[in-house]
Structure 1
Amino acid sequence: MQIKKIETFPLLYKISQPYGDANGYKNYRTCYLIHIITDSGVDGWGECIDWLPALHLGFKERITPYLIGKSVYHRLQLVNTIKKWHQRAATAVSMALTEIAAKSANLSVCELWGGSYRNSVPVYASFQSYTDRKDWINHSLQYIEQTITQGFNKIKVKIGGRTLQEDESHIHSLQDMIEGKLPIIIDANQSYDLATARKWERHFSKWSNVLWFEEPLPLDNMAELKLLRTLLSVPIGAGENIKGAKQFVPFLCENALDIIQPDLMHANGIDDFRDTLQLARHFGTRVSPHAYDGALSRLYTIFSQSCLSPSSKMDETDIEPIEWDVMENAFSELINIHPSNGIVQIPSGIGIGVNINQELISRYLWDGSSYW
């Protein structure tokens, strides 16, 4: 079975009110979808997130010409070549070819991988806490409260983008609102030095609902990361920007993290991403994948987590939660899957088991003009 045609869909959505984290504000959300069609009519979808002009030119001038006429059964070889040109594009291709392989065998993606351990996966609501409003704290709390009423039972909020005092005020107000009961994750996006990060322990030691402290420090100083881990009473998670299973090995060997958080968009394809999840299990480390960008990549992350062995020998249904972006983003609706009570049911149909929202693609197709 050979690749006959590749359709590409660069999508752009402009946010009504900028929001962000410690790395700055987002004014738009993008998505780049690819649709690979074989000579037998079997098709598959892939997705990546990056600068649209570069992605579009890369597919048009190099990736698509390379793939046309190639056998879909040489997925690993094809992805290995494309990752040398553009790693995220390679991930999109790996998704599409994985779906084609599943459809060809009349299986779901999870069945293709050997079957899942569970029919559902827990998720947490992921917030971008900052806006340019003077009352950003109240605005954040209102949005969190609104989201909780929609059924989410775990949340992640941002720190590190304001003064320590402002961030402390924000999190204390949040704890008052939820009465210290709802599980929370606090994410600093690698914004602190060791001295500042350890100051949060004066709060963590009093709070029993903090699931983990995410990326408190830059990851290029493992010695400080290991030291901080010994000073805190809550777990440390990190790794959304680590590229592939190989780069996680030093963190696992050095016991620098309690939870690793690989992101499919930063892996060398879906197979490398799944290797990373299993690698964590070999080291006895928890793994809660990052899945902020992209509805299709999040779906493949859910598939991967559902097929991951349990985190506890005592409970075969136990599995770590996955990130679910709840901020304004039209592309969250590309796939009609929504959590209920903090749980996402795994689609059971052939391939990915769901359809891509074609109307949404038509509405937000990028015309090549400026983002602003």
Structure 2
Amino acid sequence: MNKGRRTFIQKASLAGLGGAALVGNAAWAASDQRDPDLSDLDEILSTPVLNTGRFDRPIIVKSIELLRFGDNFLCRVRSTDGAEGISVSNNMVMTHLYPIFVRRIQPFFIGKDLRDWENLLEEVYVHDSNYKMQNLAFWVPLATLEFAVLDLMGRMSGLSMGQLLGEVHHPRIAVYQANNYRGRSAEESIDLIERNVRETHAKALKFKVGGRMSNNRDFPPGRTEKLIPLVRERFGDEMVIYADSNGSYTAEEAIRIGKLMETYRYDFYEEPVPFDWYPETLEVARALSIPIAGGEQEPSMRNFRWLIGHNALQIVQPDIFYFGGMIRSMKVARMAAARGMECTPHISGSGLGYLYMMHFVSAVPNAGPYHEFKGFNKEIPLECATSSLSSEDGVVQVPSGSGLGVEIDPDYVKKHTLVSA
């Protein structure tokens, strides 16, 4: 029995204990009246993540640079003793957000000791009322800086990013092939999904259902109900299958579609209702036995605490860019572990997002069995001595070198110019 099937069975047992599904805002009100004990989650949130044991001297930030070449953004951090780290941002988002990095984040960290990174995360959040920008606007620029900081600290210590987060549990990661063919018929979609899966030899796949935040509209009409059985029939019983609605449904419709997935033995159902419909997410989770996944769009640690504490999600999916970095995301993974849940992070955007995701997953003991793969960015010239950075029979080797574990071509870096705002 594969791990996804075990999660399904565990969820079914929990659903049986949970009683009848609650409806709409009544679910939120009722849950507030009988909040479970979340003290274990609060203890996790107060426990440090970052491994600073090898740093016996201050690591003082001398400079932070945001560099741009076309639509590619690099962050370069240097310390007063000459150490350097570099990161590649979520370029699709940073083209809109770079002024926040330059004006709000960059100045705050100059002169700070990077060993105190976790406390600095809390301080910069409230500094100059930055908390008012909580969401992608603030968290993506901050994650961009954190990844450069982790690269710097890794190069200083000889540790990989994963080792800076804790013990490496997964040096190799099995991938699922992500597909998005909304707008095409079920028949067209299934052929394209199969082509993608065969290229990577993945043992798991995920495809899109519904119309994306569409209030129950399908795209095109009737596609989802045809495609759900087609995918199982095409790939057989051994394939692990995930489906993502991107918040397409009301709770009632999400439950109806979820029951169809249960008929065809799907392994998780992602974001069945809009991500910030918290009581409706709880309602769907209680009505179905298929595990509910979510968290890609969630910006709030407090809301993750609620979703995990109330079992509204069974698989948590923080996006390490959208949620502000690996440190914050690891706290979510640890809360999930405390409640017997898996963490399967979402990965967004362009740049080297898949590399950051792999390092994060390598250190998550409760990582799901398969993780998202859409192929690696070939536009950024780099070398990696410890991994081919490709899917080999559905498995990717995590780079084991210091920091990010890759070397970006210095000539490519030189093409970038300093960003000011």
Mark yes or no: TM-score above 0.5: yes
Other-structure match for 2:98: 56
Tell whether 2:411 aligns with 1:353. no
Aligned with 2:249 (options 171, 188, 192): 192
Structure 1's 351 and 222: CA in aligned 2 closer, same or farther, altered over 3 A?
A: closer
Aligned with 1:155 (options 205, 209, 212): 205
Alpha-carbon offset, residue 197 of structure 1:
1.6
Tell whether 2:245 aligns with 1:204. no
Where 1:176 maps in the other structure, the secondary structure is: helix
> Which deviates more from structure 2 when the two are superposed, residues 153-162 or residues 352-361?
352-361
Provide Cα deviations, 1:164-190, integer angstroms capped at 9, x if missing partner: 512222333333332454211110011
Aligned with 1:113 (options 165, 171, 174): 165
Alpha-carbon offset, residue 139 of structure 1:
4.5
Matches within 5 A, 1:1-372: 1-10=59-68, 32-49=73-90, 51-84=93-126, 85=130, 86-131=138-183, 135-150=184-199, 151-161=201-211, 162=219, 165-208=222-265, 210-310=266-366, 319-326=368-375, 337-356=389-408
Provide Cα deviations, 1:123-178, integer angstroms capped at 9, x if missing partner: 211122225xxx55455334322222222221111111115512222333333332
Structure 1's 334 and 145: CA in aligned 2 closer, same or farther, altered over 3 A?
A: farther
State the alpha-carbon separation in 2 of the partners of residues 34 and 280 from structure 1.
Answer: 31
* 2:185/2:223 contact within 8 Å kept: no
Structure 1's 231 and 53: CA in aligned 2 closer, same or farther, altered over 3 A?
A: closer
* 1:119/1:345 contact within 8 Å kept: yes
Where 1:63 maps in the other structure, the secondary structure is: helix
Structure 1's 297 and 189: CA in aligned 2 closer, same or farther, altered over 3 A?
A: same
Structure 1's 350 and 220: CA in aligned 2 closer, same or farther, altered over 3 A?
A: closer
Amino-acid identity (%) = 23
State the alpha-carbon separation in 2 of the partners of residues 89 and 290 from structure 1.
Answer: 17
Q: Which has the higher helix share?
A: 2
State the alpha-carbon separation in 1 of the partners of residues 285 and 107 from structure 2.
Answer: 48
* 1:189/1:216 contact within 8 Å kept: yes
* 1:156/1:185 contact within 8 Å kept: yes
Structure 1's 145 and 197: CA in aligned 2 closer, same or farther, altered over 3 A?
A: same
Provide Cα deviations, 1:87-110, integer angstroms capped at 9, x if missing partner: 221111111112212221222223
State the alpha-carbon separation in 2 of the partners of residues 190 and 45 from structure 1.
Answer: 35
> What is the identity, as a one-letter code, of the residue corresponding to 1:196?
E
| Number of positions where the alignment pairs a residue of Structure 1 with one of Structure 2 | 338
Other-structure match for 2:216: none
Question: TM-score scaled by structure 1?
Answer: 0.78
> What is the identity, as a one-letter code, of the residue corresponding to 2:177?
A
Alpha-carbon offset, residue 194 of structure 1:
2.0
> Which deviates more from structure 2 when the two are superposed, residues 250-259 or residues 328-337?
328-337
* 2:229/2:264 contact within 8 Å kept: no
Q: Which runs of 5+ in 2 are unaligned?
A: 1-58, 131-137, 212-218
* 2:97/2:141 contact within 8 Å kept: yes
Q: CA RMSD in A?
A: 3.2
Where 1:218 maps in the other structure, the secondary structure is: coil
Structure 1's 147 and 330: CA in aligned 2 closer, same or farther, altered over 3 A?
A: same
> Which deviates more from structure 2 when the two are superposed, residues 352-361 or residues 213-222?
352-361
State the alpha-carbon separation in 2 of the partners of residues 10 and 291 from structure 1.
Answer: 22
State the alpha-carbon separation in 1 of the partners of residues 417 and 229 from structure 2.
Answer: 41
Where 2:222 maps in the other structure, the secondary structure is: helix
Question: TM-score scaled by structure 2?
Answer: 0.70
Where 1:264 maps in the other structure, the secondary structure is: coil
* 1:82/1:90 contact within 8 Å kept: no
Q: Which has the higher strand share?
A: 1
